[in-house]
Amino acid sequence: MQYTRLGNTGLQVSRLCLGCLAYGTPGKGPQTWSLSEDGSRPFIKKALEAGINFFDTANTYSLGASEEMLGRAIRDFARREDVVIATKVGLPMRAGPNGTGLSRKAIMAEVDASLKRLGTDYIDLYQTHRWDYNTPIEETMEALHDVVKAGKARYIGGSSMFAWQFSKALYVAKINGWTPFATMQNQLNLLYREEEREMLPLCQDQAIGVLPWSPLARGRLSRAPSSVPASARDEQDSYGHGLFKATIEADRKVIEAVGSVAEKRGLPYAQVALAWVLQKQPVVAPIVGATKLHHLDDALNALDLTLTLEEIAALEAPYVPHDITAFS
């Protein structure tokens, strides 16, 4: 396994992060296609055995069940000090005026709830899930700073927002002497490269570690184009369908380019597409999802694949601009 620093911090993380969106309780929350706990544990165990020390979840995944499952698996398969746990706050957890968002009240309540579910006394990386337009960023950043100073989180990060918003959050933290964001978790893959325009240059300039989610575009980059659902998730993932439905024909050419490189190399599509993400700067660790054990094998093998400049050019050539998505 390869390890690297998390942005400008001293924390060492594996170059792959196992995403736990698909692990929880089937039918609980929006992830109707989630694996059960018994079905999820082999993936966490295999990841740990392969040297992956970085795991990402969120309070909203299966409405807390993902955190609970991850916490139990870590206690059974690893030592807490050897593992880096990331979770998130900000999306709806319950009905009512304070059941969502990034107010001080919401953050303080949700961090304690996440700690309890995870069965740990600290979170390594605590991330805002989306921008909260109803709360001043000063309130959010001060609350997150207080979470860090209380020892409940080691580092903080952001996810999927406009570059001006991320820049504002960094500035507000700096002028007030608060803990700054160390990471940005955003959508980045060969079918969605809009983050290259503003966010990636900002992160490189500020030494922010980038943790791309959906590096295989919800699995679309792992197989030849097809109208037939490849899995239960592919069939039921309405959120994922919304991310790409407007660019199906343009995206087909990108997927075919992935297939061409993969065929010449004698490799699966997924390895080629993930290798492209791994070679992007300043990417630290793509967040990979796995619902079949060979998904993890493909991700691990991608670490050893170096694409040539010619191959990268061929993969990138068919891309067309996309509408901004997934910021809310």
Catalytic residues: 61
| Residue 255 neighbours by CB distance under 10 Å | 22
First CA to last CA distance, the chain: 34
Q: Tokens for 284?
A: 């630290």
Distance CA(133)–CA(151), nearest Å, equals 27
Q: Are 182 and 201 in contact (CB under 8 A)?
A: no
C-alpha dist (Å) from residue 14 to 21, 130, 141: 19, 24, 27
SS3 state of residue 159: strand
Burial of 288 (0-12, 13-18, 19+ CB in 10 A): buried
C-alpha dist (Å) from residue 27 to 16, 44, 233, 241, 251: 27, 21, 12, 19, 30
